[in-house]
Amino acid sequence: MPQCYGAFSPNNLILYETVCDECNQYFGENIELYLGRDTIEGVTRYRYGIKPRESPKRHIRLKFKISGGELKGMIVIPKYTGVPGENAMEMVLQVGFFRKDDQEYDYFEPQDIPSGNELREQDYELENEKIRLIAKNAEEMNYLIKMLKEKGMDVRPEEEMKWPEYVKDKNQILAEGIIRIDRIIYRALSKIGFNYLAYVAGKDFTLFEDFHGIRNFIRYNEGNSDHYFFANEPPILYFDRIFRRYNIKETNGHLVVAEWKGMNLIAKVSIFNMTTYSIRLCRNFKGIWRPIKCGHHFDVNSKEVSKLTAIGRELMP
């Protein structure tokens, strides 16, 4: 499990003399960095007091907006507070334009702001009092003013935007988000599953030619991701499958599993026991078959790692 999701000891699962330094550095800089910062799991770790090395200035794969009230549509970003169990949001640099047809504001980050002519064609009001500039300081405010002028809009801020009183009183706000996962995240999660197989079955086993496909997908971004990666799979733990409709979970810890499905070898990964991802490590295995059915649980509170117990179908209620 990447360190960005917790430091587990003393019985953490560690691969010795299995991944070379060059590949390890590549994974850290090009894959795991985004898995830890730009995923829903990456911002969920804030709730467990897992501090990021550096908070991202913006998210590419996550978009959160306030879902109601006078600031509806305003773009916000999750913020680490250092208090376990607490989520926080802060406004990002943005500009709000008033839409005539539904009398609401649409907010744009600087790189997404259309030109003044495009906004007029889309029926936005561009009078000074109908444009909201959201900035943290004078430098950011001046940047927005200059940028809008270059796009054909002469704007002068009239007052500082602040959290409304109803937010300050209740100390809470409701936000909704769009979550996108792409090949980089696919590969990062697949790496966890493949490394787990190397841990439980040994390095020599995973060097077999049947694993060339998944290995090249993870390391070199080769192949069709649909052949290897599947999202939104059923929960890993049996009772989670029964009670998920009630939003009840057996654990909030991380889960990793490797097992056979026919002659396909499958790994499953679920960080914070949220979404379950399935990785097909090989299809139609041709080597010498060996029994593989194992899983581990990473407890984010106690920092302990424990082995899961498989339940036979005859014992299931």
pLDDT at 3 exceeding the cut of 60: yes
For 101-147, what is each residue's pLDDT tens digit? 889 999 999 999 999 999 999 999 998 888 999 988 889 999 999 99
Domain boundaries defined on the chain: 86-179, 180-315
Helices (H), the chain: 21-27, 33-37, 40-44, 116-121, 138-150, 165-170, 183-201, 203-206, 212-220, 238-243
Answer yes or no: are the C-beta atoms of 254 and 1 closer than 8 Å. yes
Answer yes or no: are the C-beta atoms of 198 and 16 closer than 8 Å. no
- Report pLDDT for 159: 62
For 122-131, what is each residue's pLDDT tens digit? 999 998 888 9
- Residue 274 to residues 70, 175, 198, 229, 282, Cα–Cα distance (Å): 31, 19, 24, 17, 25
- Report pLDDT for 56: 72
- Report pLDDT for 88: 80
- Report pLDDT for 158: 65
C-alpha angle 125-128-131 in degrees, rounded to nearest 5: 60
CA distance linking residue 279 with residue 227, whole number of Å: 9
CA distance linking residue 59 with residue 38, whole number of Å: 6
Per mean pLDDT, which range of 57-61, 159-163, 257-261 is the poorest? 159-163
Pairing mode, strands 264-270 and 124-125: unpaired
- Calculate the average pLDDT of the chain: 88
User: Using 50, 70 and 90 to split pLDDT, how confident is the model at 172?
Assistant: confident
- Report pLDDT for 128: 85
* Polymer length of the chain: 317
User: Using 50, 70 and 90 to split pLDDT, how confident is the model at 171?
Assistant: low
Per mean pLDDT, which range of 66-70, 143-147, 154-158, 209-213 is the poorest? 154-158
CA distance linking residue 132 with residue 252, whole number of Å: 40
CB neighbours of 164 closer than 8 A, spacing ≥ 6? Answer: 69, 70, 71
User: Using 50, 70 and 90 to split pLDDT, how confident is the model at 288?
Assistant: confident
CA distance linking residue 157 with residue 145, whole number of Å: 8
Range ranked top by mean pLDDT from 11-20, 40-49, 225-234, 282-291:
225-234
Residue 159 CB burial class (10 angstroms; 0-12, 13-18, ≥19): exposed
Nearest to 43 by CA among 67, 61, 66: 61
- Report pLDDT for 314: 42
For 208-252, what is each residue's pLDDT tens digit? 999 999 999 999 999 999 999 999 999 999 889 888 888 888 999
pLDDT at 53 exceeding the cut of 80: no
* Tokens linked to 244: 């998920």
CA distance linking residue 191 with residue 267, whole number of Å: 10
Identify which has the larger pLDDT, 52 or 72.
72
